[in-house]
Amino acid sequence: MKLSPMQIKGIKNSTKRLNILEGAVRSSKTWGSLIRWIQFVGNLKSPEACIIAARTERAAVRNIVRPLQRFLGNDNCIYYPGKAEFYIFDKCCYVLGANDIRSEGRIRGLTAAGAYGDELTLWPEAFFKMLLSRLSEPGAQFFGTTNPDNPYHFLKKDYIDRNSELDMYVQHYELDDNPFLSSEFKANLKKEYRGLWYKRFIEGLWCMAEGAVYDMFDERLHVIDKLPVAKSKVVCIDYGTGNPTCFLLMGLNMSIRPKAWIEREYYYDSQQTGRQKTDSEYANDLLRFVGDEPVSIIILDPSAASFKAEIQRKNRFIIRNADNEVLTGIRTQAKMLTNGEYKIHKSCEHTIKDYGAYMWDANAVKRGEDKPLKQNDHTKDAERYGLYSMFNEHVINYDRLLTM
């Protein structure tokens, strides 16, 4: 396997207790770090287990376990999903999701010989610190990769900016540090991001989220007069009691652009009307909203348990809880807007209007959090539920949703 000069440098220099590779997407930092991890595990003499972690256990399997299996072969890498244990050269590695509260409990009291982490800025601070405290075995090392985030993020402020004070190696990557990507691919990748995401994922900058969340939204580009031909349709719902309730009819067709679009909206604001509807009334409104449309799946706000039960009584739809990862969902929606994969029909007045009023929370940014204000967010949440549930990792999940 050929390695880039940056990868060779990273492998050679990542000899500290903490070793973090950060920077642009597709810049080759992950493969270099995985090669270094293989070296580390292959040379371990300690009987203690290691830890492999990402934002979720599923992400850890996708981004770490599966690539290692492809590279080393199944004889050298065996994964046991039921136990979440991965063996590399007979060395046990516990596979964990950093966002799973059970994972933090699982590593309490554990002594680890080493750890590998992916998507570090998406980890809760408590999990990261707990994991580092478990690396008490002599010679234990941590290897991790991440894209940039908020400059006040704990990883930047407390670790990367203090690397000279710590036993720590940090390597910064830019997109052009990957010599194996074609110029055409790099050019296309650069076109797919704008604003905040371009600065972070293409330029590799740690920069603040400011102003409008979807600053790339342009009515001239993203609002359509004529509806494309859909191959399937879903309804995405953000449910409110004191807040507005929103239904969005989303058309889908993977063979064209846009791949997804909003055809119609339902928007009811009890504060404006002075009357809160019951779950039964909303369910009846949903039936009228769908009408004869070939909708089989409802993607629902995961907190709307009572409304979910009411829809189930109608015995017409398959209901799936939305994937409610806010930042990764926003990133997916922003990317689809930027590259022309997602549009909104001109009749959806609230959905269009809310783009100009959906803002980042300036106070949260100063605390190191990228977090939208909880204002003018109901259509935005409904859109995000649908897009991220269906297009997570740019693979449409319609069939998966049907069988979940």
Asked whether the beta carbons of 54 and 98 are under 8 A apart, the reply is yes
| Predicted local confidence at residue 377, as pLDDT | 93
Q: What pLDDT shows up at residue 242?
A: 84
d(CA 34, CA 303) in angstroms, rounded, equals 37
pLDDT above 90 for 392 = no
Among the listed ranges 100-104, 105-109, 169-173, 393-397, which one has the minimum average pLDDT value? 393-397
How many whole angstroms separate alpha carbon 265 and alpha carbon 235? 10
Give 299-308 pLDDT, tens digit per residue. 998 899 999 9
> pLDDT band at 393, cuts 50/70/90?
low
Tell how far CA 259 is from the center of its chain.
19
The mean per-residue pLDDT over the stretch 47-62 comes to 94
Q: Which of 1-5, 221-225, 267-271, 370-374 has the lowest mean pLDDT?
A: 1-5
Domain covering 5-182, topology: Rossmann fold (3.40.50)
- CB count in 10 Å sphere of residue 104: 17
| Fold equal for 5-182 and 219-403 | no
- Say what the pLDDT of residue 395 is: 46
> In terms of residues, how long is the chain?
404
Model confidence over 35-46: pLDDT tens digits? 999 999 999 999
pLDDT at 292: 95
pLDDT of residue 399: 56
Domain ranges of the chain: 5-182, 219-403
Q: DSSP per residue over 17-65, as a string? A: SEEEEEESTTSSHHHHHHHHHHHHHHT----S-EEEEESSHHHHIIIII
Task: Kindly report, residue by residue over 230-266, the tens digit of the pLDDT.
Answer: 999 999 999 998 899 999 999 999 899 999 999 999 9
Q: Which of 70-84, 94-108, 220-234 has the lowest mean pLDDT?
A: 94-108
Across 12-16, 274-278, 329-333, 400-404, least confident range: 400-404
Nearest to 99 by CA among 128, 71, 76, 66: 128
Residue among 289, 297, 293 at smallest CA distance from 267: 289
Average pLDDT estimate for 92-110: 85
CATH 3.30.420.280 given to domain 219-403: yes
Res 106 pLDDT > 80? no
The mean pLDDT of the chain is: 93
The mean pLDDT value for 5-30 works out to 97
**Terminus-to-terminus CA distance in the chain, angstroms?**
38
Eight-class DSSP state of 404 = -
pLDDT at 401: 52
Can you tell me the mean pLDDT for 334-345?
Answer: 96
pTM for this one? 0.85
How far is it, in rounded angstroms, from Cα 38 to Cα 168? 19
